[in-house]
Amino acid sequence: MKVSFQGEPGAYSEQAVFNYFGKDVETVPCESFDVMFDSVVNGKSDALLAPIENSLAGSIHQNYDLLLRHDLHIVGEYFLRVRHCLIVNPGVKKEDVKKAISHPQALGQCAAYLRNLGIKPETVYDTAGSVKMLKESGARDVAAIASRRAAEIYGMEILEEGIEDNQENFTRFLAVGREATTPKEEAKTSIVFSLKNVPGSLFKAMSVFALRDIDLTKIESRPLQGKPWEYLFYIDLIGSVQNETVQRALDHLSEYAVTLRVLGSYPRFKG
């Protein structure tokens, strides 16, 4: 099985692929989220694992837009505990480090740690990519912030692990494939819809779930492209579209919604 992820080998996304799909899958590194989605659409990979939100930094909005743009289905979710490492070329001491390079989210999650050490942050395209760049440069006054796996892949040295400012640092990933799945255990369903901009429209939309005691675990609004000041609403709810109560709620929502699409029903992650 081939599974696409965004980033270089050793990225947190690749670790999440192995944790979710198993060690026997073949990972397909992609330079961008667009390329990652295209790889599944074009049949170059069987599935992808996309980060959709981080417990500290919030949602990855580009992947919400890509889910809507492509005729693919969410088939699972996975939560990864993110532990950042301060990584250097072998033999470099912590007091030698003047600058740290990494993805902007990783730098932001380690901002206080870097500030306390007087290390200047510098943004690059990827966490694992920062380790690759550091190895190629051979710099002795620069560190990278990335995963333990990235350090091992590139033969680099870890000065300190768990340097994130907040230990409750998790990234939620969505597994996405070409065919929809029918979850047999406790399920989650993701939908996206738009509404007419009239008084009470969002209240009525939310009421279809409240009246049936359906638990909503996430609500996200995104601009509707091509229509300024109009919005799409993404919702995650507990239950499967195969469930009669959920189906009735969606039927009821369709009475108010201008557009409504089910992105997928999938097993709820139990960490």
| Residues identified as active-site | 171, 173
CB 48 within 8 A of CB 6: no
Q: Report the DSSP pairing between strands 120-123 and 157-161.
A: unpaired
CB 9 within 8 A of CB 135: no
Tell me whether residue 90 is exposed, middle or buried, using C-beta atoms within 10 angstroms of its C-beta: 0 to 12, 13 to 18, 19 or more. Answer: exposed
C-alpha distances in Å from residue 227, one per residue of 62, 197, 236: 18, 12, 24
CB 249 within 8 A of CB 189: no
Look up residue 188 and give its amino acid: K
CB 234 within 8 A of CB 191: yes
DSSP 8-state code for residue 85: E
CB 50 within 8 A of CB 6: yes
Q: Is residue 93 classed as helix, strand or coil in its secondary structure?
A: coil
